[in-house]
Amino acid sequence: MLEGFTAGLAAFSSWQVIAGLFAGVVVGYLVGALPGLSAGVGMALLIPFTFGLDPVVSVVMLIAVYMASEYSGAIPAILVNTPGEPSAAITALDGYPMRKRGEAGHALTLSILGSAFGSVLSTILLIFSVSWMTKFALAFGPAEYFALAVLGLSLISTLSGSSIIRGFVALLFGLLLTTIGTDPVDGLPRFVFDDGFLSGVPFVSALIGLFALSEVLRMLETTDEPTTPMRDIPGVNGQLGLMKPHMGNMVRSTFIGYIVGVIPGAGATIASIVAYTVQKRLSKDPDSFGSGNPEGVVAAETSNNACMPGALAPMLALGIPGKASTAVLIGALAIHGVAPGPLIFTQHPEIPYSIYISLLVGMPFMVLLGLYGTRLWVRLTQIPRGVIAAIVCAVCLLGTFSESKDIFSIWVAVGFGIIGYGLSKVHIEPAPIILALVLGYMMESNFRRALVMSGDEMTVFVSHPISAICLAISLIVFVLPLIQTVRRRRRTAVKAAAYPGKAA
Amino acid sequence: MVRDKAIPMNLADHVMHEDSLPPAKEITIRSELGDIVAGLGLAGIAAWFMVEAIRLPDYSGTAIGAADFPKGLAFLLLLGALGLVGGAVLRLATGHAGESSTIRRPLHVLIGALLLIAFPLMMSYAGYYIAMGIFLTAFLYLADINRPLLVGGCVAGFLLFTKIIFEMILQTPLP
């Protein structure tokens, strides 16, 4: 570990890495503070800028974007009741009522300090647990990797959107798309109706299309709406003493955030909900939650920021993206020829340790910007929606082209943008498709390799203990929500039969 | 299905703006209809993949060849898509309406999508700078940015940004 930190610190002696870190924090703040732009979109937009950069500079910049945008989503959530990130919706529950009471400064201070605490403690947990996870991962063979991919996919399908069947369909659609291109074992071209698809569906183009261009089309629906005027822009007092009554809440929420983050498919929104619910149950004043209780702001912000290093653990140790943002990070690393997974610690030790150091070094800068830059961020949320939509669209098209230097990739991004918009209108989320694009290749190649190695023995997946456990958990995770849904429907039906008037 | 409707703005300021903004058109899609269209579309894709997979040769000599994985996935997608359609039909039959979704300003969205499709075509024939200049100007007007100075500033600023960052610093060859 010491050698790894030395390699990471050596990388940090370069001015480009420091500049990349600061630039990433500033870009992350902008992305997070602009409603409609998520951390994943911001990172995807930044990828084209990283092609010519050193891999360490690229990854540090992207991590800084990820870290800062996870926090700054709370700024518009507290000030204008508009979450900049989906996870900040929970922060808005108590943050916005606090702002209405004239306590915006208090809420913003608590949110940045809670975020900083959660992120730093969670990074320490990541540093110590990832090496254990890596040792565990080194025992993995094709059967285990296949089972792991199935586990990741089973979580994604159940945690995306409001409907299991829609998540399932989106997941299968994404998996089917991964079969386009050259077959991973025999090298046979499959479903290649254009030469551009020989090496598969271009990931960056699909990502930019599904997330950003579909969002641009959604933005066109509301560009005639005025931006919400700010009547008062609060000053922020960085009172560290404000943290004192919330220490227990912050430690608890950090652990919740880290654990939820480690689970592939779970995310910051779920971490916020769990931490908020736990804090509400433990609070001496649970009734005031939702009407401006600072404990709610602290729990939500601490946990959603603690979730971020947690999501990096499976990415670094196993090469599995826990969420869309880490999928983008894997894509960015792949462009530089770096494959996350157990071997990253021996082949490219500077990458994981640079990530740890950037999480720890970037935090003080993020806190200072959070405490003193509030006025600037508030002004950015006032940019007309039309300008944001047009510039985001232009950056997407340019970024897509610069990734492949081929107009074909723009066609792919535009196609996925329109598909993503259409699917969103029928409540099918794009996240399962993207995560399937990441995990699909891993799933098929390891499934077939495991069969080749075992002489076509299907029991290989259940005879290996890790693989069997992963598949059993996948089955439970996939079936449990179905059982819960059936039970809920039965309960509703029983209630409707007992109180026919109320049921209507 | 298309109807005129005055849309309330952000709750904080709708009193201020509700009389000054023109009504916006919107299309409301019943979730059942959406599920049927999406389900049939995805079922069609699954069927196409299945037919193409059947035509693939098998050189592997193993139990699971190059065609089997996509065949299995296509079959599952076909089941899922038909399940989506079946669920929608069942909801229609039992009268349990699902959550509907709305497309505000459908003409703007349609023109936006057409502009997106036109961009790579324009770029192929006219080159990046002319294509992006035309595209961005049209898109800004479509997105209700009508002040010529702001539109010109955004377009010129973005093209300059492209020239400096992408062409000069990142050495991206733009057509």
Chain A residue with the nearest C-alpha to that of B153: A387
| Nearest by CB: A191 against B35, B49, B144 | B49
pLDDT at site A380: 58
**Span B57-78, average pLDDT:** 84
C-alpha Rg value of chain B to the nearest Å: 24
Does A457 contact chain B (CB < 8 Å)? no
What percent of chain B is predicted at pLDDT more than 70?
84
| Nearest by CB: A221 against B59, B105, B173 | B105
| Nearest by CB: B101 against A389, A425, A458 | A425
Instruction: Tell me, yes or no, whether A469 lies in a domain.
Output: yes
**Inter-chain CB proximity A421 and B109 less than 8 Å:** yes
Residue B8: which pLDDT band, with cuts at 50, 70 and 90? very low
Chain A residue with the nearest C-alpha to that of B87: A165
Does B139 contact chain A (CB < 8 Å)? yes
Query: Distance (Å, rounded) from C-alpha B71 to C-alpha B52?
Result: 9
Instruction: Tell me, yes or no, whether A500 lies in a domain.
Output: no
| Nearest by CB: A173 against B9, B77, B124 | B77
**Sequence-ordered list of residues with C-beta below 8 angstroms from that of B154, at least 6 positions apart, any chain:** A387, A390, A391, B136, B140, B145
Query: Distance (Å, rounded) from C-alpha A183 to C-alpha B69?
Result: 10
Instruction: Tell me, yes or no, whether A501 lies in a domain.
Output: no
pLDDT at site B109: 94
Coil, strand, or helix at residue A225?
coil
Please answer whether residues A91 and A77 qualify as being in contact, where contact means their C-beta atoms are separated by less than 8 angstroms.
yes
| Nearest by CB: B62 against A162, A387, A452 | A452
- Residues from chain B that touch A389, judged by Cβ atoms under 8 A, are 139, 143
**Inter-chain CB proximity B143 and A444 less than 8 Å:** no
pLDDT at site A69: 83
**pLDDT tens sequence across A430-447:** 777 877 887 788 888 888
**Inter-chain CB proximity A386 and B140 less than 8 Å:** yes
| Strand ranges inside A346-407, DSSP E | none
**Inter-chain CB proximity A456 and B45 less than 8 Å:** no
**pLDDT tens sequence across A217-240:** 988 888 777 665 554 555 555 556
Coil, strand, or helix at residue B104?
strand
pLDDT at site B17: 41
pLDDT at site B46: 94
Query: Distance (Å, rounded) from C-alpha A139 to C-alpha B60?
Result: 27
Query: Distance (Å, rounded) from C-alpha A73 to C-alpha A238?
Result: 19
DSSP B24: E
* Cα–Cα nearest to A40, from A207, A191, A167: A207
pLDDT at site A240: 65
Instruction: Tell me, yes or no, whether A318 lies in a domain.
Output: yes
Shortest Cα distance, chain B CAs vs residue A400, angstroms: 11
Coil, strand, or helix at residue B7?
coil
pLDDT at site B4: 42
pLDDT at site B80: 92
| Nearest by CB: A169 against B9, B80, B124 | B80
b/e map A18-35, b = 16+ CB within 10 Å: bebbbbbbbbbbbbbbbb
Residue B10: which pLDDT band, with cuts at 50, 70 and 90? very low
Question: How many interchain CB pairs under 8 A, A with B?
Answer: 200
Instruction: Tell me, yes or no, whether A502 lies in a domain.
Output: no
Low-confidence stretches of chain A (pLDDT beneath 70): 1-5, 8, 33-38, 80-86, 133-139, 155-162, 226-240, 263-267, 322-323, 373-382, 481-482, 484-485, 499-504
Domain that holds residue A131: 2-495
Q: Which of B36, B78, B116 to mutate to test the interface with A (most CBs of A within 10 A)?
A: B116
**Span B62-73, average pLDDT:** 84
> Which burial class, exposed, middle or buried, applies to A346 when counting CB atoms under 10 A from its CB (0-12, 13-18, 19+)?
exposed
**pLDDT tens sequence across B109-128:** 999 999 999 999 999 999 99
Q: Give residues 74 to 113 of B whose Cβ lies within 8 Å of A.
A: 74, 76-77, 80-81, 83-84, 87, 99, 101, 103-105, 108-109, 112-113
Write down the ipTM of this complex.
0.85
pLDDT at site B117: 96
For tokens 């057509």, the residue is B175
Rounded to the nearest integer, the mean pLDDT of chain B is: 82
Please answer whether residues A377 and A75 qualify as being in contact, where contact means their C-beta atoms are separated by less than 8 angstroms.
yes
A451: left (phi over 0), alpha (psi -120 to 50) or beta: alpha
pLDDT of residue B163 exceeding 80, the answer is yes
> Which burial class, exposed, middle or buried, applies to A170 when counting CB atoms under 10 A from its CB (0-12, 13-18, 19+)?
buried
pTM score, whole prediction: 0.70
Q: How many domains does chain A have?
A: 1
Mean pLDDT lowest among A87-101, A287-301, B3-17, B130-144: B3-17
